[in-house]
């Protein structure tokens, strides 16, 4: 996919709504997970129901925020960024979980732990890569364009 990174806000209303949806969704997810961890297993159905509602609503709001982020700027730039982050996290999860379970490198873990380790690895990588990768993309792309380090036809 050929992408010329463009960070101008094409739809200011979507750019203003993006932080609201993402932060509200994140807070609801964190509250839902906290409720489940602290009270769900001990007190049962009421807290488990609250956990499920909070997690689904929080995830929906965060997804709406991501779509609004795509609407706020150049769709191709941000789709390339999202696909890059997801594919890097997936490859890293395969490597990390495979190394720990399948290849039995230190510490050797049972092979049946592959999927829990893989999911945890990918989710944690998604958080780190989205924060660091987005900051680097936004901060360094203008530098690469200005200094001539961005080679047309190779990266873009």
Per-residue pLDDT, averaged over 93-98, amounts to 93
Q: With 90 as the cut, is the pLDDT of residue 89 above it?
A: yes
Q: What count of residues does the chain have?
A: 156
Structure confidence at residue 95 (pLDDT): 94
Residues 6+ apart with CB under 8 A from 150: 141, 144, 156
Is the separation of the CB atoms in 51 and 35 below 8 Å? Answer: yes
Distances (CA, A) of 49 to 29, 30, 58, 108: 13, 15, 14, 37
Both tokens assigned to 53: 């509602």
Q: What string of DSSP letters covers 26-38?
A: HHHHHHHHHHIII
Structure confidence at residue 3 (pLDDT): 62
Distances (CA, A) of 91 to 14, 74, 85, 105, 129: 32, 26, 10, 18, 12
pLDDT digits (tens, 9 = 90+) for 48-61: 888 888 888 988 88
pLDDT digits (tens, 9 = 90+) for 127-141: 888 878 877 877 887
Q: With 90 as the cut, is the pLDDT of residue 93 above it?
A: yes
For tokens 């890097």, name the residue. Answer: 88
């Amino acid at each position: 996919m050929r992408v010329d990174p463009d960070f101008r806000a094409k739809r200011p209303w979507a750019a203003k709504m993006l932080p609201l949806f993402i932060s509200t969704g994140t807070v609801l997810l964190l509250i839902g997970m906290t409720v489940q961890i602290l009270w769900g297993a001990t007190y049962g159905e009421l807290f488990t129901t609250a956990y499920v509602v909070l997690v689904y609503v929080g995830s929906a709001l965060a997804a709406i925020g991501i779509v609004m982020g795509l609407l706020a700027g150049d769709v191709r730039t941000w789709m390339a960024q999202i696909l890059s982050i997801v594919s890097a996290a997936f490859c890293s999860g395969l490597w990390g979980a495979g190394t720990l379970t399948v290849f039995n490198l230190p510490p050797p873990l049972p092979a049946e732990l592959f999927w829990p380790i893989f999911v945890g690895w990918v989710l944690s990588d998604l958080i780190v890569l989205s924060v660091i990768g987005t900051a680097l993309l936004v901060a360094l792309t203008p530098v690469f364009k200005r200094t001539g380090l961005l080679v047309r036809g190779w990266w873009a």
